[in-house]
Amino acid sequence: MRANKYFFLMILAMGFLFIHFNLVSALSRGTSNQSLGAVSLIDDAKICIGKMQSLNISTARVNESYNKAVELYEGQFLQEQQGKKANYAFANDSALEVCTIEGNAIKANDELQVFLEFYNNANKEINLSAMDKEYGDIIASFSGERFEDTSRLIDIGYQRISEIQSSQTALNLFYSTTSQGIKNFLKNNWKGLSIGGVVVLLILIFFWKAIVKFRIKRKLNYLNLQKQTLNALIKRTQLDYFKYNKMSETEYGIKIEKFRELIRDVDRQIPLLKENMIKLQKKNAVIEEKKKSRRRK
What residues in the chain have per-residue pLDDT under 70?
Answer: 1-31, 169-209, 284-297
> Is 251 within 8 Å of 51 (Cβ atoms)?
yes
* Whole-number Cα distances in Å, 285 to 214, 279, 289: 17, 10, 6
pLDDT the model gives residue 250: 81
Instruction: State the Cα–Cα distance between residues 270 and 268, nearest whole angstrom.
Output: 6
**Amino acid, single-letter form, for residue 279:** K
For residue 126, what is the DSSP state? Answer: S
pLDDT the model gives residue 151: 86
pLDDT the model gives residue 48: 92
How crowded is residue 49: how many other Cβ atoms within 10 Å of its Cβ? 20
pLDDT in tens, 164-210: 877 776 555 555 555 555 565 456 656 655 665 666 666 656 666 67
pLDDT the model gives residue 41: 92
pLDDT the model gives residue 167: 74
CA angle 295, 296, 297 (to 5 degrees): 90
> Is 91 within 8 Å of 42 (Cβ atoms)?
yes
pLDDT in tens, 206-225: 666 677 777 888 888 888 88
pLDDT the model gives residue 90: 92
pLDDT the model gives residue 97: 92
pLDDT the model gives residue 6: 44
Judged by DSSP in three states, 144 sits in: coil
DSSP3 helix / strand / coil % (the chain, rounded to 5): 90, 0, 10
pLDDT the model gives residue 188: 61
